[in-house]
């Protein structure tokens, strides 16, 4: 009861942050907001939220002063007459995005973050990390993992770091490995390209297109764990920062 009252007072007392103060958010809610942001916003606003001139979503720099309530409204209704689209989110989901945007600034300002060296990172990527055994960058490497040519335009540094430290934490739907076991016990793991009632089409780890009849399979389904190894013990903090710096600079094919 007292807590509720306190929250109400808070909500009325401050425009900024009031909406966030009315709910309680678990870190998981903020992560959900991050996922929604990555799938619905980064293609225009960039992974750091600063790709559109004069707007910096992660640092709370907008063209006008907005309260959290305003932001939720903008996220849900869009801005008519501009490319900013309406989104079909309920209020809670829209609020988790705002909570995520607020958390971005705190993330950036992490004390003790090491500066990485992209050139060293590139060498670690090809050498010690053996990243090319699964990933492709600008036409070189394997297709068994996602192509990283544009990864710097899609992910923030902290996300790239997390992808290496804890690959199971978040596997994007399109990146999930699919595993099929034939009736004779042969196992095929790959990326699911397509499936219908009778067949599954996979791109296997050797980049071969596999067309499998479901009647020949004993088991089939997504693999919950990432096939990517964790680099927690393989790279030290400096090496990790170097690889993150290299990845952050991958923003598509270099134009001649």
Alpha helices in the chain (DSSP H): 2-13, 18-22, 27-40, 42-45, 68-77, 91-108, 118-126, 151-154, 157-165, 237-248
**Residue placing its CB nearer to ligand HEC in the complex, 88 or 215:** 88
State which residue, 43 or 213, has the beta carbon closest to ligand HEC: 43
> Where on the chain is the footprint of ligand HEC (CB under 6 A)?
40-41, 43-45, 52, 55, 57, 62-64, 71, 74-75, 79, 82-85, 87, 97, 125, 129-131, 133-135, 145-146, 151, 155, 160, 163-164, 167, 171-172, 175, 177, 226-229, 231, 243, 247
Q: CA 179 to CA 205: how far, in whole Å?
A: 11
DSSP state of 50: -
Nearer to ligand HEC, 1 or 106 (CB): 106
Distance CA 141, CA 179 (A): 22
For ligand HEC, the closer CB: 7 or 59: 59
Q: What is the nearest approach in angstroms of ligand HEC to the Cβ of residue 50?
A: 11
Nearest CA among 183, 216, 187 for reference residue 200: 216
| φ/ψ (deg, to 5) at 86 | -75, 150
Kindly state the smallest distance separating residue 81's Cβ from ligand HEC, in Å.
Answer: 8
Tell me the helix, strand and coil percentages in the chain, rounded to 5: 45, 15, 40
| Minimum CB–partner distance for residue 191 and ligand HEC (Å) | 8
The residue (of 55 and 113) whose beta carbon lies closer to ligand HEC is 55
- Rounded to a whole number of angstroms, the minimum distance from the CB of residue 111 to ligand HEC is 24
């Amino acid at each position: 009861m007292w807590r509720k009252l306190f929250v109400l007072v808070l909500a009325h007392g401050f425009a900024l942050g009031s909406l966030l103060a009315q709910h309680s958010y678990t870190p998981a809610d903020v992560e959900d907001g991050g996922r929604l942001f990555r799938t619905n916003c980064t293609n225009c606003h960039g992974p750091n939220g600063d790709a559109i001139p004069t707007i910096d979503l992660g640092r709370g720099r907008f063209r006008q002063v907005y309260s959290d309530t305003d932001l939720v409204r903008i996220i849900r209704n869009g801005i008519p007459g501009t490319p900013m689209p309406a989104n079909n989110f309920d209020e809670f989901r829209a609020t988790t995005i705002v909570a995520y945007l607020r958390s971005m600034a705190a993330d950036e300002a992490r004390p003790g973050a090491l500066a990485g060296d992209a050139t060293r990172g590139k060498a670690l990527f090809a050498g010690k990390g053996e990243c090319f055994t699964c990933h492709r960058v600008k036409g070189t490497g394997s297709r068994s993992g996602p192509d990283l040519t544009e990864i710097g335009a899609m992910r923030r540094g902290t996300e790239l770091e997390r992808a290496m430290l804890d690959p199971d934490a978040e596997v994007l739907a399109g990146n999930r490995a699919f595993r099929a076991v034939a009736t004779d016990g042969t196992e095929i793991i790959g990326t699911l390209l397509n499936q219908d009632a009778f067949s599954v089409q996979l791109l296997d780890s050797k980049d071969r297109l596999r067309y499998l009849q479901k009647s020949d399979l004993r088991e089939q389904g997504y693999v919950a764990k990432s096939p990517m190894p964790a680099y927690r013990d393989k790279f030290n903090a400096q090496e990790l920062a170097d690889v993150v710096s290299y990845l952050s600079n991958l923003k598509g094919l270099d134009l001649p």
